[in-house]
Structure 1
């Protein structure tokens, strides 16, 4: 029997797969509990992946993800390290089958990313200034997705820098955080062109 993979992203996917297979319906509260004490990074990876993978096609999910981003950003900017959720949001459910399919599709990408991610340039992800910047980016992204999530493709585009920031926070990789900051400019140009 092989030992479980202890890399944070792989272990996250394994736990989500186990949760998805255990029930036909998975609540947001179950997802947060499964993530445990891993911090906001893995949660951001999961949320952004939801908008990229098949589960993101579920009606209303972009709005739920947007609220999460706003809440996480708000907690980060006040120095909190755990996520508070209103009861109504904790009771939102996802299909266990769709979650399992999404996790299965994410696993090859996680294996591909593993050798590329490492702790480096941690100032870009862990300094006080970086934390506040990431918090503001998350809140702004959440507001945009919440207000404009009905535009086809927009939640996907806006989830890309959030995925990068989540990976950076999970692995203390400041280079990935810096690349996420750089991604904001083409995303802003994309949004500008949509509305002009």
Structure 2
């Protein structure tokens, strides 16, 4: 029991609290094989918190050099779906199947994408602070999970429409940051971008 509490405390201490911290956690992963395993990324950022996991999905989907790899947006969509479903049913620790945890990405492309995003990430982090906090409370997070669930369902066909998957990445990133910083204004903006991305994909497919 004590070991379990210690593990929970360690997760809390290592969990990133903003965009730059999450990026540095990913960058610190040792990759002698030249590939980053998804399980290693989850170990670096923690597996218990909804916000950082959404932010991870958004960040990977947002980086053009990574999201342009065939299948990556669909992989992030599946990851988002699993996390959202487990949040909605009340799980406290998020489970992922082994085949998904063992998927890898080329470390050079991930590091290049992170380097490209550092300056805007620092600017974004300076704007974060708690406001309109009911949007990131218990009910607000459940609404966020439903919105992200819908967004994830739309992401595989987004691979067929240029740039739309990156818009979805922006929405997921903002949702993750909103929850981590208790910033309801970001949450509202993320809902608007989610609506826009769903409209764009429906317009292009119908």
Q: TM-score range by the shorter chain?
A: 0.7 to 0.9
Report the counterpart of residue 145 of structure 1 in structure 2: 155
Task: Determine if the alignment matches structure 1 residue 108 to structure 2 residue 119.
Answer: yes
* CA–CA distance in structure 2, aligned partners of residues 83 and 38 of structure 1: 6
Alpha-carbon offset, residue 22 of structure 1: 5.3
TM-superposed deviation, 1:60: 0.9
Could you tell me how far 1:181 is from its partner in structure 2?
Answer: 1.6
TM-superposed CA distance for 1:25, in Å, is 0.8
CA pair 111-22 structure 1, distance change in 2 beyond 3 A = farther
CA separation in 1, counterparts of 2:34 and 2:76? 20
Name the CA distance, whole Å, in 2 between partners of 1:22 and 1:46: 22
Please say if 1:176 is aligned against 2:186.
yes
Count of aligned pairs: 190
Cα contact 2:37–2:105 (8 A) shared by 1: yes
Structure 2 counterpart of 1:42: 52
Please identify, of 77-86 and 141-150, the stretch whose mean Cα deviation from structure 2 is larger. 141-150
**How far off its partner does 1:102 sit?**
1.3
Consecutive unaligned residues in structure 1, runs of 5 or more: 1-5
Residue in structure 2 matched with residue 86 of structure 1 by the alignment: 97
TM-score, scaled to structure 1: 0.88
Alignment check: 8 A CA contact 2:147 2:191 kept:
no
TM score, norm. by length of structure 2: 0.84
Alignment match of 1:62 (pick from 65, 73, 81): 73
- 1:188, distance to aligned residue in structure 2 (A): 3.3
Instruction: Note if contact 2:61-2:166 (Cα within 8 Å) is conserved in structure 1.
Output: yes
CA contact (8 A) 2:26 2:41 kept: yes
Q: Can you list the C-alpha shifts for 1:138-178, whole angstroms capped at 9, x where unaligned?
A: 11111111344333222112222111101101111111111
Structure 2 unaligned spans of 5+: 1-15
- Tell me, in whole angstroms, the C-alpha distance in 2 between the residues paired with 1:185 and 1:8: 24
CA RMSD of aligned residues (A): 2.0
- CA deviation map 1:92-128 (0-9, x unaligned): 011111111111112111111122111122110123x
Please name the residue that 1:3 is paired with: none
User: 2: CA distance between counterparts of 1:37 and 1:74?
Assistant: 15
Find the aligned partners of 1:186 and 1:101 in 2 and give their Cα distance.
Answer: 28
CA distance in 1, matches of 2:35, 2:25: 15
- Is 1:51 paired with 2:73? no
